[in-house]
Amino acid sequence: MTWGDPAATTEVGDWLTRGLFDKRIVQLVGSLDDRAAGEIVAQLMTLDALGDDPVEFRITSPGGTVAAALAVIDVVGLVGVPVHAFATGRVHGPAVGVLAVCDRRAVADHTSLRLVEPEVEFRGSATQLGGQAAAHREEWGAFCTCVARAVHRSVGEVASDAAAGRFLTAEEAVDYGIADEVARRTADIHRLPGRPIGFRPDGAT
C-alpha cells in the first residue's frame, strides 16, 4: 500500500480521528453537510456517555447546510458535558451557529468568520418547490433564533446581518457574542475549566 493510495489515506485519516477521539477532541474540517453532522453528533453523544470531562470541538468550515448545523446545535445543547469550541481558518455560514452555541468559544487570531445564509437549490414541481422553500424558511428561522439566543441579540438583527453576508474578524466575533476570546500565543486561555484548548502561552510548561 503506497502513501498516495486512497485506501492508505483513509486509513491514516481514521487513525488520526481515533487518536483525537481518545483525547475527547471532535473536529469539523470542511463543509458541514449531513455526513459531517452525523459523524459529529455520534462522537459527541458517545463522548458524553464515556465520561464527564469537557469535549474540545475544533471547527474549520467554509460552509454547509442549515439542516446539518441544526442537528449539531441540538446535540450540543443536549449533551451533559461542556463543549469547548476552538475555531481556526474560515468559519462561514452555518458553522458560525455551531460555534456560537458551544459552552466556551475561542477563535484563533486570524480566523475569518462570516454570518451568511447558504445558497440553496430546489428542484421539482411548483408544489414541491413551494414546500421545499417553506421548509428552508422554517429551518433558517430556527437557526437565526438559536444564534440570536447564543449571542444575546435579536433574531431580526442576526437575520439582517446574515442577509448582508457580514464578515467578522476574530475580535469582532468576540464583540458580536459569537466567541468569548481570541486565542493568541501570548493569551492565557488555559484559565478555562476542563481540558485546555488552543495555543499554550509562551513560557508555560
| 159-201 pLDDT, tens digit each | 999 999 999 999 999 999 999 999 976 544 444 444 444 544 4
Residue 32 lies in a domain: yes
Note whether residue 195 is domain-resident.
no
22 part of a folded domain: yes
From its phi and psi, is residue 116 left (phi > 0), alpha (psi between -120 and 50) or beta?
beta
Amino acid at 135: A
Q: Is residue 205 part of a domain?
A: no
Over 60: is that where the pLDDT of 125 sits?
Answer: yes
User: Which has the minimum average pLDDT: 66-75, 81-90, 93-102, 184-193?
Assistant: 184-193
Domain, as residue range, for 38:
6-186
Residue 202 falls inside a structural domain: no
Structural domain total, the chain:
1
Cβ count near 46 (within 10 Å): 12
Domain containing 136 — which CATH number? Answer: 3.90.226.10
**Within a domain: residue 95?**
yes
pLDDT in tens, 36-63: 999 999 999 999 999 999 999 999 999 9
Query: What local confidence, expressed as pLDDT, does residue 2 receive?
Result: 41
